[in-house]
Copies of this chain bind each other. A is one copy, B any other.
Amino acid sequence: MHIDDIDTPALVLDLDVCERNIQRFQSFFDEHGVGFRPHIKTHKIPELARWQVDAGAMGITCQKLGEVEVMADAGLDNILLYYNIVGEPKLERLCRLSQRCDLTVTADSPVVTDAMGTAAVKQGAVINVLAELGSFNDRTGVPSVPDLVELGRHIDRTAGLNLRGMATYPTGRQNADRVAEAVQAFDRAGLNREIVSGGGTPTASEVDSIDGLTEHRAGTYIFMDRQCIDRGVAAEADCALQVLTTVVSNPVPHRAIIDGGTKTFSADGDMPRGMVLDFPGAEIYQTNEEHGFLDIGKCDPRPSIGDRIRVIPNHVCVTVNLHNQVYGCRGNEVERVWPVAARGLVQ
């Protein structure tokens, strides 16, 4: 199948660029002696996870139980589930997964780990746990290093749980001291920290600044996107995944409408909604559900109805999550069509 035979809108993945991103990040972490654990939330495709592992990744990261199930079913192993797992149905699934693959999960509260331990004992499982330290994003994770040590001790003495270390997100120069402090505190407390896990694509290059880090997680790097370009961590040529669209309307000379809107790109990120390729000067200044509004006043030549336009999305992780499939292309040939296998498994 030729790339021109893909109907639009569609996600088109340049496999050469994708492989280069996989290799480049893996080589970087190999050089720095830090394990690399790619986050599959970006692509949700088992075969791409396999490519990452084959390139040298120590394992993978997931954000949802449903993602872990899809990946484990496909034979992936050594999985970190970076999420507090809450509620009996999920804890049962977590136990079952723990019995069939090498799985570790993060937790930031004894309320979470107590329920986890109870479920593990009941099901005869042992759940590997990392205590989660809060970071400068003020999301999950205990707020201080003393809290982390207390949580670590709590996990350590909870039946059914196996404390393996700690994790935080994101990591970079900004919180290097804090991570180092946590590592020392775990050592002083005699707590296992065989895993010290950091994360983030934009801060991946700062991994050297963090003493004690055993592994780093990153997701977006495999595809890159406009936000990565804006943050200076990717060039346009590093963006492997593009939204292929068609101009469907051109009602006035300066405005074209493409067949992709918030149900194709998502509404993530600031305007413009992605970076328009093929027609320099064209900019998506607005999106409705199935319409992208292009200002083409500065284009020469201007696109017209039927023209195909590729767009680098603002935030590729949420874009992929909207689609049922990705067309993997080598040059102009479609080499693979992958279902986004773990999409929609929100629980």
Please name all residues of chain B whose beta carbon is closer than 8 Å to the beta carbon of A290 when the two chains form the complex.
41, 63-64, 83
Please name all residues of chain B whose beta carbon is closer than 8 Å to the beta carbon of A140 when the two chains form the complex.
248-249, 251, 257, 291
| Partner pick for A344 among B7, B85, B323, CB 8 A cutoff | B323
| Partner pick for A9 among B83, B139, B259, B347, CB 8 A cutoff | B347
A178 CB–B CB distance under 8 Å: no
A17 CB–B CB distance under 8 Å: no
With A64-B290, A306-B111, A323-B346: A257-B87 Cβ-Cβ less than 8 Å: no
Number of copies: 2
A264 CB–B CB distance under 8 Å: yes
Complex interface residues of chain A between 249 and 265 (CB less than 8 A to chain B): 249-252, 255, 257, 259-260, 262-264
Please name all residues of chain B whose beta carbon is closer than 8 Å to the beta carbon of A318 when the two chains form the complex.
262-263, 267, 289
Within the complex, the shortest CB–CB distance from A107 to chain B, in Å, comes to: 9
Please name all residues of chain B whose beta carbon is closer than 8 Å to the beta carbon of A317 when the two chains form the complex.
289
Within the complex, the shortest CB–CB distance from A313 to chain B, in Å, comes to: 12
Looking at A142, A266, A306, the one whose CB has the most chain B CB atoms below 10 A away is: A266
Within the complex, the shortest CB–CB distance from A320 to chain B, in Å, comes to: 10
Task: Determine whether the beta carbon of A86 is less than 8 Å from that of B263.
Answer: no
Task: Determine whether the beta carbon of A267 is less than 8 Å from that of B264.
Answer: no
Task: Determine whether the beta carbon of A7 is less than 8 Å from that of B89.
Answer: yes
Please name all residues of chain B whose beta carbon is closer than 8 Å to the beta carbon of A77 when the two chains form the complex.
none
Q: What are 30 of the A-B contact pairs (CB < 8 Å)?
A: A7-B89, A8-B347, A9-B346, A64-B290, A83-B259, A83-B290, A84-B257, A86-B246, A86-B247, A86-B259, A86-B305, A87-B246, A108-B249, A108-B251, A111-B250, A111-B306, A112-B248, A112-B249, A112-B305, A139-B249, A140-B249, A141-B251, A142-B251, A143-B252, A262-B266, A263-B318, A264-B346, A322-B344, A322-B346, A323-B344
